[in-house]
Amino acid sequence: MKKILILSLSFLLIIPLFAQKRDITLDDLWKDYAFFPKSIDDFNSMNDGEHYSTMEKTEEGQEIIKYQFKNGKKVRTLFTSADFKITKIRGYTFSKNEKQLLLATETEKIYRYSSKSVYYIYNIFTDKLKKLSDDKVMYATFSPKGDKVAYVLENNLFIKDIQTEKIIQVTTDGKKNHIINGASDWVYEEEFALVRSFEWAPDGEHIAYYKFDESGVKEFSMDLFKGGLYPTQEVFKYPKAGEDNSVVKVYFYNLESDKNTYIYTEKDYEYFPRIKWTNNPKILTIYGMNRHQNELDFVLANAEDGTNSVLFTEKDKYYINIHDNLTFLPEDNFIWTSEKSGFNHIYIKNLDGSDDQITKGDWEVTSFDGVNSDKMEIYYSSTEDGSINRSLYVQNLETNKKIKLSTETGTNSASFSKGMKYYMNSLSIANSAPVFTLHTADGKQLKVLENNTDFNTKMERFNLTNKEFFTIQTEDTELNAWMIKPPDFDENKEYPLYMFLYGGPGAQQVTNSFGWTNYYWYQMLAQKGYIVACVDNRGTGGKGSEFKKMTYKELGKYETIDQINAAKYFGGLDYINAKRIGIQGWSYGGYMSSLAITKGADVFSLAIAVAPVTNWRYYDNIYTERYMQTPQENASGYDENSPINHVEKLKGHYLLVHGSADDNVHVQNTMEMISALVKANKQFDLFIYTDKNHGIYGGNTRYHLYKKMTDFILENL
């Protein structure tokens, strides 16, 4: 009996040991990559609207698999990389008849979105694979008939006939840092997300393409230290605020006549952020914009002779954000979104320039998801469940009746089938991994594709607390916020506060969505005794154009006021130590954290600025002038909110981090900040990551960076 009692007591003692949750380590985050749940990659609706394809990893390589929408069951494997011993596939596209695939392999990144790859053409029906070119080329794209492929090589546009293998060189004047045909320059890629700069006409008889003349744009150079005896230098065109842009022209190329036609517009536009063919294969739409980006002309151009006219003009007293919510309807009218009512909403535009507003309310349409012309229904996602959430709706165009399709509150994102019969929904909420489900267009759930149950079960082993959402009322406005408290939180104790922010125009960090690796780093800091919080200041998105655009011409001013006021609010809480408040951000967030530690020196005792802008004069002109106009027009706006001009106020601990090969926010920003700090006799910490770009990653880099930041926080906050 005594032996049994001892065994029972021993068993009871063992249970808590097995049930005990453990803390997160940096090894978990950036060596074991333990916090990456599963997702559905390269989801693609097929033409019949009844099937979809995905690309999936296998032990031997990758497979492209065809599934049924109605039940999510696998139909067949369309391609297996191991069968052809080709390297990792980075992307795939179908020809219009879905008999062929274009496969991008051996992909080499250039800037944020651009890349070049070795492409293969795979015939699904003959099981034959052939290489498009021995060269790495850019943006290979099937013609509508699937008999040709257009691509860019060495800044020139080419067309290859798949059967005859005859190659037509559309342009011949391409030259690095001078002329680009069919691709975009650095600033269009970064700020307009325009990458592939050519479009096949619907009948394949024409290609519309851009020509960028960069000759007059000033060059930026970066030294690269890759282990050679002497550094090499990367030189590229980068137009800074107030400086000259590329001269951009749009052309038609007629395949039958082998003729290029320049589209001469009556207005001398500074920017052409988008082109798109209408349902008529002879008519191209062009967005023409002024330099201030507050006036947009919707231009219709004829492919036969290049003649064109302005259908309508949209103006804004601040600026216009470029979007891709342009969908042509069978009646030749089209879907368009605009902020002209004060909130982003959907309109139907007519060919006489008139329009009808479809969605209305003090909330934002965050994405236009599609239209079913037969049923006269539109699908869209919006902030109707609150600015931190995204929900999916369907609205009838004739009756205006609206139905909410999302069943759970969070960040819902829908990908519809062609024909709008089905959709895949991704549901992301703050404290659990994303869930992917299949639905019919009326919202009925057909199947759970991935619920990440295994991942969420694994997370139960860790000592985690929930991210809590709330609002802060300052003397100026109401701000969205979230907070993560330590697992053993005691409201009778005082804790240091670590704030994270981005804060840039239209962005949001306070969203009810899964936070990926950073979420778990914040949990790690909470486990070490910190409260972690984030506040979206004025200028961020989700709350209408006035809230977003009120920072116009004074970037940094009101955003910093809001972050200082938020920190004061937190410091007034009984359980937060007002003398131990730190703040950190990356890019625009680095700019903001630098302003916080200087302008808010009496509030913040620590700041970490990763890849910060320190003076808007050093940043590119499309982004900066959209919000600030040019330095020549608005010198005070640039100078009064530059951290460089406030360094004398610095009191706390300040860590500057930058990649030496950052093509986006140049390390020049940090070097100028260093000079200003030294001149003001201010001590600070600095770390430069050799040859790393704006993302600061690769090899052991992310682990090193997060250890650097973690140690800095532990030692100084």
Identity of residue 497 = L
How many residues are given for the chain?
717
The yes or no reply on domain 466-716 and CATH 3.40.50.700 is no
Look up the CATH number of domain 333-429+432-462: 2.130.10.120
Q: Is 226 exposed, middle or buried (0-12, 13-18, 19+ CB in 10 A)?
A: exposed
DSSP string of 183-228, one letter each residue? B--HHHHHHH---B-EEE-TTSSEEEEEEEE-TTSPEEEEEE-SSS
Report how far residue 582's alpha carbon sits from residue 652's, in angstroms, rounded to the nearest whole number.
Answer: 9
The answer to whether the CB of 456 falls within 8 A of the CB of 510 is no
Over the stretch 237-249, which tens digit does the pLDDT of each residue have? Answer: 999 999 999 999 9
User: What's the chain's Rg over C-alpha atoms?
Assistant: 27
Report how far residue 649's alpha carbon sits from residue 21's, in angstroms, rounded to the nearest whole number.
Answer: 44
Check residue 17 and give its pLDDT.
Answer: 42
Regions of the chain with pLDDT less than 70: 1-19
Helix 557-571, helix 588-599: angle, nearest 10: 60
The answer to whether the CB of 142 falls within 8 A of the CB of 96 is yes
Report how far residue 31's alpha carbon sits from residue 700's, in angstroms, rounded to the nearest whole number.
Answer: 8
Report how far residue 191's alpha carbon sits from residue 622's, in angstroms, rounded to the nearest whole number.
Answer: 6
The answer to whether the CB of 692 falls within 8 A of the CB of 698 is yes
- Kindly list the domain boundaries of the chain, sorted by start residue: 333-429+432-462, 466-716
Check residue 19 and give its pLDDT.
Answer: 58
- Smallest CA-to-CA distance from 45 within 447, 365, 370, 337 is with 370
- Smallest CA-to-CA distance from 300 within 223, 372, 353, 359 is with 353
Over the stretch 317-333, which tens digit does the pLDDT of each residue have? Answer: 999 999 999 999 988 89
Report how far residue 344's alpha carbon sits from residue 363's, in angstroms, rounded to the nearest whole number.
Answer: 8
Asked whether the domain spanning 466-716 has the same topology as the one spanning 333-429+432-462, the reply is no
Helix 516-527, helix 701-716: angle, nearest 10: 30
Check residue 587 and give its pLDDT.
Answer: 98
